Amino acid sequence: MTRKEVFFVPRCEICGKTKSVGNRVSHSQIKTKRTYSPNIQRVRAIIDGHTRRVHACTACLRSGKVKRAIRARTVSQD
């Protein structure tokens, strides 16, 4: 399986939020099914004392359920 064949399922690793189903409603009130995807961000977070990249929805990021990791900056010796 090549890298292009791997599909990403939009799912929050913190709360488990995934796609939801709703209706697309036209002006004439004709309803067709559509899916709503959550706003998933790939962030560096501290999980069990270790820095890890996780997929988290923006609701979890704003509510503070995810402890963001601070990237250490390297100081050049010039």
Q: Is the confidence at residue 71, as pLDDT, over 80?
A: no
- When divided into structural domains, the chain yields a total of 1
Residues facing residue 25 across a β-bridge: 31
69 assigned to some structural domain: no
36 assigned to some structural domain: yes
Instruction: Fill in the amino acid letter for 43.
Output: V
Q: Say what the pLDDT of residue 9 is.
A: 76
1 assigned to some structural domain: no
74 assigned to some structural domain: no
CATH code of residue 31: 2.30.170.40
pLDDT per residue as tens digits for the range 14-63: 999 999 999 999 999 999 999 999 999 999 999 899 999 999 999 999 99
Range of the domain at 52: 7-63
Q: What is the DSSP string of 1-65?
A: --GGG-------TTT----EEEEEE-TT--EEEEEE---EEEEEEEETTEEEEEEEEHHHHHHT-
71 assigned to some structural domain: no
pLDDT per residue as tens digits for the range 2-13: 666 666 778 999
Residue 62: φ, ψ to 5°: -70, -35
| More confident call, 67 vs 7 | 67
35 assigned to some structural domain: yes
22 assigned to some structural domain: yes
